[in-house]
Chains A and B, each alone.
Chain A
Amino acid sequence: MVSPLEQAVLALMIFAIMLGMGASLTPRDFYLALRRPYGLIIGLVSQYGFMPFIGFMLATLLTVPDAIALGILIMSCMPGGTTSNIFTYFSKGNLALSVLMTVTSTVAGIVMIPLVLVIYASALDLDIPRENIIATLVLLLVPVGIGMVLRKINANVGAVTEFIGSVLGIVFILFLVVSWIPRNWQFLLETSSATYIAAIGIGAAGITIGYFFARALKLHPRNARTVALETGIQNGPLALAIIVFTFPEEEAAALTAVPVLYSLFIMFIATFVTLIFRRANTAAEQKLPDGLL
């Protein structure tokens, strides 16, 4: 599907982007997110409570083959992906909270993914590739840490790194979409509408439910927007890796349909939601009278 070279280029890009994201953060941002951990807890509940349930409902209500249904379930119980951090950054959400949520849900995933699948798919024996989990964490934490240090050493280096990271972020999103569609054209034509609904529904429902759940628990709108993106945006590559590691090749092809489709459509959904969140953010900004300048 993706050649090792492309994989390396993508990893490098994510590294550079997260370096930039890190350069926009200070240790204090993390301290503040940890000092009031409700956001984090709400996020975890949303991630492993609501998301698998959404997946289960979609798999049950839609008439899809078993392999697709299993794909839906696996996709919905994945932890948050790095992409959620990028979208949180662009939507002017709480990036420190987003990074912490990604880290906690990824670490918790080692226990939570099998546990949730036991509940919904009755004792499915999945092989969780730890190296992928570790790679995700490294690819997230190392550049964020370096970015923060860069900013601390020199605010200009930090700001320039952040700027380059954010430009790369847009390139990255465009690149994924543009390179994905032509090579999967045939697959798109052959896929059933139920699979489409499931692949789109996981992300859309996750963002919506995550947002209203967080708002209902009185989370600040900015944090609620962060939880929403974090909940809806799953770690697609991890789902693919789990499937490839666990199942024989002939089964894996059908199983990967939902994760592959999800990974495409989440880009559109998240971009759309980010634009709405940016607007909400601007609308919530204090209007300062002209006199000040």
Chain B
Amino acid sequence: MTASQRPWTAFYGPNVRPDIKAAPYRTIGEMIRAVSETYGKAPAFTACLPNGMNGTLSFEDVDRMSDAFAVYLREVAGLKAGDRVALQMPNGLGFPVAAFGVFKAGCVLVNVNPLYTADEMAKQFADAAPSALVIVDMFADKVPAATRGHPIPNIIVTRVAEFLPALPRGIVGLVQKHWDKSVKPVEVPHIRLPDAIAAGRSHQDAEKIEVDSYRQSVQPDDVAVLQYTGGTTGVAKGAMLTHANLLMNMTQTVELAQEFEKGKEVALTALPLYHVFAFSLNLLAFYWIGARNILVPNPRPLSSLKRAFENYKITWMSGVNTLFNGLTHEVWFTDSPPRHLKFASAGGMALQSSVAEEWERITGKPVLQGYGLTETSPVLTFEPLGKQRAGTIGVPLPETMVACLDDDGQEVPIGQSGEIAAKGPQVMAGYWQKPEETAQVMKNGWFLTGDIGVMDADGYFTIVDRKKDMVVVSGFNVYPNEIEDCLATHPGVLESAVIGVPDNATGEAVKAFVVKRDQSLTEADIRAHCKAHLTGYKVPKQVTFRSDLPKSNVGKILRKDLRAQELAQTAAE
């Protein structure tokens, strides 16, 4: 790659290396070990609950506990290198311990959305075939239904207040059990995470096990994480992110930002860590730079973040448009905005210019927009600090080539739109056991994003449209096929089509067009049916009944015609 092909390198900060040949570590396990030794007793993770109760693990603690968990996985649970371990929990101290343990054991981490319904979990489990599942107690009641037909041999149960000091942990436990009733009894044979760690530790001490030996066989190009994105056919599709993918993306992102001081940052993690954006940036990149990570289990209602902002000197946070927009409308936030913030990073969905402006007006610090996909570990582009341009997704990261291509795979001239394609060390190895799906997005060395964009003469990119039918609701991908499949199982539905429509709150929202079989079918019926089978963000926000749907001459439903009609209607209003 030469500078002339990458006009954006002129907009990098003075110390940014445009080319990064190799990641600083071979594997994520190696990174965790090295970083833990550097920062030792400094706080690495603090879980902060809405009422301010909290617990902290130092780098040393996380290192030691994840070692023990790795030993548990390998010696007690009997897993081998390359076996999958599913992790299904909200942000909390159990997350880094379990995730890092999986990497140290040489196993593959599978992130699962804790709010998934049993149906959705079952699809993902069937595809990934995990040998172990670490799940939060609040959702463990879904396990029997989700594992029917393909049992998971090892179930490890954790909790929201895991590893908090005994008194707050006890109080949270009592409140969850007797007040919210959010914790139900776990019906399947299982072990608690602290017990698993204790078992691993006693094994480690008794047998004098060298945890480092587990990852000796692991290569940089081996899969580290299966990150699911849903699938065009409604079947779960796991992006294989290798150790090199994730370590490089972490290095590239930190390289472009340049603003971070090692060992000094305090990051607010309000986005869920099971989502690739927070996983890569907050969990891995900020661990690497020795930051203290403030983990918030659930940012809803937004007042749950109040104590985290009051009690910790947050220097950086990641978020999605929805979160930034919401915070700018909270009186407690606008009254006392974080004073130590350097800047914030937005991803997952388009950041509205009005939100970015309002945020900067209130906090005095910019929110920079980035762009990427699950398949690219995830970051491809980011706005460089001090040279941000509202409305753009910024410039490509170091060691990354991004271009807009026409239908023949040729680069379009500057200023013209084309499908955004990328090359770089962060591009996934492919979809797990789906060579055909992989071939569709990997062409001539490019990864095709499905987004239509424009590059200006300086190398800043702007998203203008999307090629795929996928809908992005507040940072989460929704595939119309999956929703239509679900609608088809309702006896009152003859046929349906699902598209994304612009939405002020979520960027895009799911809209379903339904042709009735049973004339008494109501919108509420449709919503209740979807709610029973799909996670909340996938449930259609709008439902319109029609007598027919636009179809091609071979009978294929034309979503693009519906979209065009919808846009014309919105424009007319």
B interface size (C-beta, 8 A): 45
B-contact 0/1 string along A25-58, CB 8 Å cutoff:
0101000100000000000000000000000000
Contact of B54 among A159, A163, A220, A293 (CB under 8 A): A159
B-side contacts of A159, CB under 8 Å: 49, 51-54, 168, 307
B-contact 0/1 string along A132-171, CB 8 Å cutoff:
0000000000000000000100011011101100000000
A163 to B393 alpha-carbon distance, docked (Å) = 44
If over half of B's interface residues share one DSSP class (helix, strand or loop), that class is named, otherwise mixed; here it is loop
Question: Is A289 close to B, CB under 8 A?
Answer: yes
Q: Which residues of A contact B (CB under 8 A)?
A: 26, 28, 32, 151, 155-156, 158-160, 162-163, 220, 222, 285-293
Q: Quick one: given A156-B54, A159-B51, A159-B168, are A293 and B298 in contact (CB under 8 Å)?
A: yes
A-side contacts of B330, CB under 8 Å: 286
Q: Is the CB of A291 within 8 A of B322?
A: yes
A290 to B510 alpha-carbon distance, docked (Å) = 12
Task: A156-B167, A159-B52, A288-B326 given; name 4 further pairs at CB < 8 Å.
Answer: A156-B54, A160-B53, A291-B349, A293-B90
A156 to B54 alpha-carbon distance, docked (Å) = 6
Q: Is the CB of A292 within 8 A of B323?
A: yes
Nearest B-chain residue to A167, judged by Cβ: B171
Question: Is B462 close to A, CB under 8 A?
Answer: no
Q: Is the CB of A289 within 8 A of B322?
A: yes
Q: Is the CB of B271 within 8 A of A155?
A: no
A160 to B171 alpha-carbon distance, docked (Å) = 8
Q: Quick one: given A288-B301, A291-B322, A292-B320, are A156 and B53 in contact (CB under 8 Å)?
A: yes
Nearest B-chain residue to A163, judged by Cβ: B171
A-side contacts of B115, CB under 8 Å: 290, 293
Contact of A162 among B51, B165, B299, B474 (CB under 8 A): B51
A222 to B476 alpha-carbon distance, docked (Å) = 34
Q: Quick one: given A286-B302, A289-B474, are A162 and B506 in contact (CB under 8 Å)?
A: no
B358 CB to nearest chain A CB (Å)? 14
A-side contacts of B475, CB under 8 Å: 291-292
Q: Is the CB of A286 within 8 A of B329?
A: yes
Contact of A292 among B54, B167, B271, B329 (CB under 8 A): B271
Q: Is the CB of A293 within 8 A of B320?
A: no
Q: Is the CB of B331 within 8 A of A222?
A: yes
A154 to B302 alpha-carbon distance, docked (Å) = 23
A-side contacts of B167, CB under 8 Å: 156, 160
Q: Quick one: given A156-B168, A159-B52, are A292 and B535 in contact (CB under 8 Å)?
A: no
A286 to B474 alpha-carbon distance, docked (Å) = 15
A-side contacts of B298, CB under 8 Å: 293
Question: Is B180 close to A, CB under 8 A?
Answer: no
A81 to B444 alpha-carbon distance, docked (Å) = 76
Q: Is the CB of A292 within 8 A of B310?
A: no
Question: Is B311 close to A, CB under 8 A?
Answer: yes
B170 CB to nearest chain A CB (Å)? 10
Question: Is B409 close to A, CB under 8 A?
Answer: no
In the A-B complex, list the 10 residue pairs whose CB atoms are closest, starting with the nearest. Answer: A291-B474, A290-B536, A290-B537, A159-B52, A289-B506, A159-B53, A291-B537, A291-B473, A291-B476, A285-B301
Question: Is B145 close to A, CB under 8 A?
Answer: no
A-side contacts of B335, CB under 8 Å: 32
A32 to B310 alpha-carbon distance, docked (Å) = 14
Q: Is the CB of A292 within 8 A of B474?
A: yes
Question: Is B443 close to A, CB under 8 A?
Answer: no
Q: 12 A-B residue contacts at CB 8 Å?
A: A156-B55, A156-B164, A158-B52, A160-B171, A222-B331, A286-B302, A286-B326, A288-B302, A289-B473, A289-B474, A292-B271, A292-B322
Q: Is the CB of B168 within 8 A of A289?
A: no
* B:344-385 near A, CB below 8 Å: 349
A28 to B475 alpha-carbon distance, docked (Å) = 34
A33 CB to nearest chain B CB (Å)? 10
Question: Is B303 close to A, CB under 8 A?
Answer: yes
A186 to B505 alpha-carbon distance, docked (Å) = 60
A222 to B115 alpha-carbon distance, docked (Å) = 32
Question: Is B336 close to A, CB under 8 A?
Answer: yes
A122 CB to nearest chain B CB (Å)? 45
B-side contacts of A292, CB under 8 Å: 271-272, 299-300, 320, 322-323, 474-475
Contact of A293 among B299, B303, B331 (CB under 8 A): B299
Contact of B168 among A26, A160, A285, A290 (CB under 8 A): A160
A117 to B175 alpha-carbon distance, docked (Å) = 48
A-side contacts of B331, CB under 8 Å: 220, 222
A-side contacts of B476, CB under 8 Å: 291
A-contact 0/1 string along B306-326, CB 8 Å cutoff:
010011000000001011001
Highest count of chain B CB atoms <10 Å: which of A26, A32, A288, A291: A291
A221 CB to nearest chain B CB (Å)? 10
Nearest A-chain residue to B115, judged by Cβ: A293
Nearest A-chain residue to B274, judged by Cβ: A293
* B:506-565 near A, CB below 8 Å: 506, 535-537, 539
B558 CB to nearest chain A CB (Å)? 27
B-side contacts of A162, CB under 8 Å: 51-52
A220 to B323 alpha-carbon distance, docked (Å) = 22
Contact of B336 among A28, A220, A222, A288 (CB under 8 A): A28
B-side contacts of A155, CB under 8 Å: 48, 52-54, 307, 311
A156 to B329 alpha-carbon distance, docked (Å) = 28
B-side contacts of A158, CB under 8 Å: 52
Q: Quick one: given A32-B335, A32-B336, A293-B115, are A288 and B51 in contact (CB under 8 Å)?
A: no
B538 CB to nearest chain A CB (Å)? 8
A163 to B474 alpha-carbon distance, docked (Å) = 34
Nearest B-chain residue to A26, judged by Cβ: B310
Highest count of chain A CB atoms <10 Å: which of B52, B168, B323, B506: B52
